[in-house]
Structure 1
Amino acid sequence: MEDVADDESSTDEEGKSTEAAPSPTASPQPTQSSEPLAAEPETVDSEPATSEPATSEPTVPTTVPEGPQNPEAVRVGREFEVVTRDGLELGTARIDDIVRTPGCGAELTLSIRTSAEAGPDRWASIGPGDFAEVRPSGSIRRAGTVTSDCDQSTNSRIAALSASREYEIVIAIALDDSAQQAMLRPDGTAGWMFDLPPLPKVTATTSPSAPATTSSPTTDASEPSVETSVTTAEA
């Protein structure tokens, strides 16, 4: 029994000595330094931050009129384009002749060539109402038809026009005798002004008076008559 107790005591002592001995494979634990760690400096970007420009909303373009908006001056004998304020081409026109008659307005001879436009806005007719009288003050008065007392009244009417055609038209319009300018102004156009010729001067005609009777002296039959001959140079 003593031998067994000695063995157990020796085993306990060996076990204690074994537990107290450090493990040869155990790695030493790292020791934390008591000094605070230095913070890494932050990098500052040297380039300034650029902001994107604000995008503006697209502007709606305004409609630009294509045709003349104010009356234009033209000369007799010069062709000009007839265009509406909206830019629709009606054709071309030329005033070839103007004849004025006191008390009966003016009679115009025009050459017209219509465009190929066949829509409802085409140049479909021309008449006295398409002309106007331009006053010296700048005011405009629409021309009328010539009265039946004038010989020109047969030409004071509306003439129909077709697309892509050429016309030579004589039209009479009623104007004041004091008018100096007139205007061709179809519907939808600004108008084209032209100068009027002066009124013809009216000369008063008088019936010739009967010639006074004069007594011619009688020649004496006894006196010989004298004959004169006229010589002509030969060619």
Structure 2
Amino acid sequence: MAVLRGLGAAPLLPHTGDDPPVTIPRDPAREAAERELSRPMYHENDPSLFQRALNRFWGWVDDLFSAASGATPGGALGLVVIVLAVVLVLGALWWRLGTPHRAAASSPALFDDRPRSAAEHRAAAEAHAAQGHWNQALQERMRAVVRALEERALLDPRPGRTADEAAAEAGRTLPSHTDRLRAAAHAFDDVTYGGRTADEAAYLRLAELDHDLQRTKPVLTSTAHTTPSNSSQGDAE
């Protein structure tokens, strides 16, 4: 058996140092290594797909930050200062302008296509206020204010009029309420087109303005012009 084992193994395991070593071609060796490394036992501790994506993202952020800090005066500190300044400016704009739900080239019309009386707008406003819907309540109360001025002939009924235009026109005949009318129009625009949220206090201010306007007598332009001449005639007599 020893002789047979020796004879059979001789061609595979040469004993002389003069024979060349056994070599494997490059491609089969690479394929064998890939098959070996693809076995699950070698990948048990590999990061998940999400972790690899997250690592790639943070690597991209780090590269971007490094490139930006290298191009910014003051390095990383200067970049941090610039970022904070931009954040502060954006925060100030957000606080001042509100959420930009939609942008309009001009202020849309105050009323919709279906005309209603001032009493109807007031009733709708009170119904919304009773339910705590302050945005809708404020909108309807502003419409009631403008419609009441139209019903008293202090404003000419005009389709397409905006809240700002109505406040400016009404302020000419009701000068004692000019500032409050402008503030009411601004609140209406903020709620309707600026994405702001009204509260009970804002609605109550507008309701108080509505009541005050109903009791206020207008300043007629013709009276203002004729009063000095009448006084002069009285003095002359």
Q: TM-score range by the shorter chain?
A: under 0.3
Between structures 1 and 2, the one with greater strand share = 1
Output the TM-score relative to the length of structure 2: 0.25
Larger Rg: 1
Q: TM-score, normalised by structure 1?
A: 0.25
Identify the structure with the greater helix proportion. 2
